[in-house]
Structure 1
Amino acid sequence: MIVPFLIGIPTALLFTYWGVNLTDLAYSKIYGKPLIVYDHIYFKKLRTEDIEVIKAHSLFYTKLSAYKKRVFRHRVVMFINDKTFIGLNGFEITREKKIMIASVAVMLSFGMRTYLIACVNKIIIYPHAYFSEINRKYHLGEFNPLLKTIVFSWEDFIAGMNNNTNNSNLGVHEFAHAIYFCSKYSNDSSSILFTNGIKKIDKLLHSESYIDKMKNTAYLRGYAYTNKFEFFAVCLEHFIETPKQFKEAFPQLFGIIKDMMNFETSEA
């Protein structure tokens, strides 16, 4: 059967496309990481003032090599162009705010070749905690897979960005949910490695002794034990904000998440 989107593409390019992807999948199975992560040929550019916003709010970006900073900036542009940003309850969407949100998403998907988090089309932002008509409660943020939407309280999003050592980061938490969901329905090498990591985490969560050990340390906040989805999201907040402590406290879990994300912060 001819796949419609491939019509008109030269045969040699098709073989190259499929060959590279098959090689990437084989490599990832052997070595536990993608063969190809940064396959960009052309790089989109940001304005100087945009780059200053990233520098001011992304410690992750400042630690990258010159080439990877270029990749990061390109991905920020691509992410912004791919999403619809909506402000509600009088919230004004600005270029700076888009850059800040995109920087969090790009950081989390930086070790992945497929980085746009395709299960998110819209990003809705309220100025403060907002009331949900669905469950009649106030929320700080949420990910809705059916609507392909992430929602943030800007006040709480900013609070997470401004304190990078308290292991509470709303942007990281909600994008973690989205990446988790996306991986279940994708078959690229990064998603396969991610879902393999989730299976390993699930095994740990079935060990009562391991869970008891984690609870006794009180390193993860209690919300982590709500369900496996919240557990991963909370763990990712810790992985980003206090990696050294995480690695020392739970090296096995830290290693699994590092392999899933395919990067490790320089502070670990």
Structure 2
Amino acid sequence: MDMPPVSGWIFVIVIGAILATVIYSVLVYPLLRKRKALALPLSDEWRSIIESSVPYYPRFTSEEQQHLERLIKYFLVEKVFFGCAGLVITDEIRVTIAAQASLLVLHKGSDAYPKLHYILVYPSGFSVERDQVGAGGVVENRRMHMLGESWHNGKIILSWEDVRKDSHESGTGHNVVLHEFSHQLDSETGAANGTPLLPNKDYQRWANILDTELSALRYAASLQIDSVMDKYGATSEAEFFAVATETFFGKPYQLAQRHSELFQILVKYYQFDPRQWQDEPLYEPIDDNAADRS
């Protein structure tokens, strides 16, 4: 029997090596990393950080606690943290951010932000230069003070001072980690436009609610009327979704009272109701007509 020429064998070997590398990279390596993450022990120190950064963690069911811990461990293996402006990255920083980010996907059954690779952390707020369209359509370069920023190229930037502050003030409806990581969820469709990845049958309902609620928030902002949601959400559809997420986790009872349709569709999206973890606050009923058109 004739043997194939040497060049043919080389070709077969090269193709086989390429296929083996692809299979290992796509199927085997991610599985090994996940197993490595889940095998990491959760120290008492880490658990204390989780309880501090997620105040309602003790109210989770045992299944929720275990799943959150798994998500945190996987997150910490997958993501690389960088300290900026002299900040030294500690376990407190890593676990706090991982715990709050994992909270968003606790019931979603998805991996922890597969397209996100790098988390840059500053000691406090940071400044960036941005081109903005000013009066008369003139583009102006302005320096802006930021607490966090989410990028499409696999990174998030956060202010540690504000992450820590938000961790200890969970009922304010402000949380920079939830805000920036919700932008990552929003981007799963390819663009951060206020509409995250949904079942096909829910897109029209989401669009209707988004249009109504964003218009109402812009109306309230224009008249300086108090609102449950931060008026920064009126900036754009993407910022509305991020602010709505912060409010959903931080002020679920108020959001449910004032914006029931928005609250219910967020319950469906995040696949749980955060009111089950929190006591109903004592607050005065708000006249919806005074603040919103919705």
Q: TM-score range by the shorter chain?
A: 0.7 to 0.9
Q: CA deviation digits over 1:56-86, x for unaligned, max 9?
A: 2212422211122111111100001000100
Partner of 1:201: 206
* CA separation of 1:110 and 1:212: change in aligned 2, threshold 3 A: closer
User: For the residues of structure 1 that align with 2:48 and 2:94, how far apart are their CA atoms?
Assistant: 13
User: For the residues of structure 2 that align with 1:196 and 1:109, how far apart are their CA atoms?
Assistant: 21
Q: Which amino acid aligns with 1:203?
A: N
Deviation for aligned residue 1:250: 1.1
- Contact 1:106/1:115 (CA < 8 Å) preserved in 2? no
Equivalent position to 2:260, from 251, 256, 265: 251
* CA separation of 1:213 and 1:149: change in aligned 2, threshold 3 A: closer
User: For the residues of structure 2 that align with 1:213 and 1:179, how far apart are their CA atoms?
Assistant: 23
Matched, 1:50 2:35: no
Partner of 1:211: 216
Partner of 2:105: 109
Partner of 1:143: 150
Partner of 1:154: 160
Matched, 1:175 2:181: yes
Is the partner of 1:220 in helix, strand or coil? coil
- Contact 1:141/1:153 (CA < 8 Å) preserved in 2? yes
User: For the residues of structure 2 that align with 1:239 and 1:81, how far apart are their CA atoms?
Assistant: 28
User: For the residues of structure 1 that align with 2:217 and 2:267, how far apart are their CA atoms?
Assistant: 23
Equivalent position to 1:225, from 222, 228, 234: 234
* CA separation of 1:202 and 1:83: change in aligned 2, threshold 3 A: same
Deviation for aligned residue 1:204: 2.3
TM-score w.r.t. the length of structure 2 is 0.69
Q: Which amino acid aligns with 1:99?
A: V
Deviation for aligned residue 1:134: 4.8
Mark the structure with the bigger radius of gyration. Answer: 2
- Contact 2:120/2:157 (CA < 8 Å) preserved in 1? yes
Quote the sequence identity (%): 22
Deviation for aligned residue 1:138: 2.2
Deviation for aligned residue 1:110: 0.6
User: For the residues of structure 1 that align with 2:56 and 2:213, how far apart are their CA atoms?
Assistant: 34
Deviation for aligned residue 1:184: 4.4
- Contact 2:52/2:167 (CA < 8 Å) preserved in 1? no
Task: Give the gaps of 5 or more residues in structure 1.
Answer: 10-39
Q: Which amino acid aligns with 2:209?
A: L
Q: Which amino acid aligns with 1:176?
A: S
* CA separation of 1:208 and 1:73: change in aligned 2, threshold 3 A: closer
Q: Which amino acid aligns with 1:178?
A: Q
TM-score w.r.t. the length of structure 1 is 0.75
Q: CA deviation digits over 1:167-197, x for unaligned, max 9?
A: 1111111011111112448xxxx9434x765
Partner of 1:98: 94
- Contact 1:239/1:246 (CA < 8 Å) preserved in 2? yes
User: For the residues of structure 2 that align with 1:85 and 1:8, how far apart are their CA atoms?
Assistant: 28
Deviation for aligned residue 1:200: 2.9
Partner of 2:29: none
Aligned residue pairs total 228
* CA separation of 1:134 and 1:118: change in aligned 2, threshold 3 A: farther
Deviation for aligned residue 1:212: 6.6
- Contact 1:83/1:122 (CA < 8 Å) preserved in 2? yes
Matched, 1:70 2:66: yes
- Contact 2:148/2:159 (CA < 8 Å) preserved in 1? yes
User: Quick one: higher RCO (CA 8 Å, sep 6+), 1 or 2?
Assistant: 1
User: For the residues of structure 1 that align with 2:204 and 2:156, how far apart are their CA atoms?
Assistant: 25
- Contact 2:217/2:234 (CA < 8 Å) preserved in 1? no
* CA separation of 1:198 and 1:150: change in aligned 2, threshold 3 A: farther
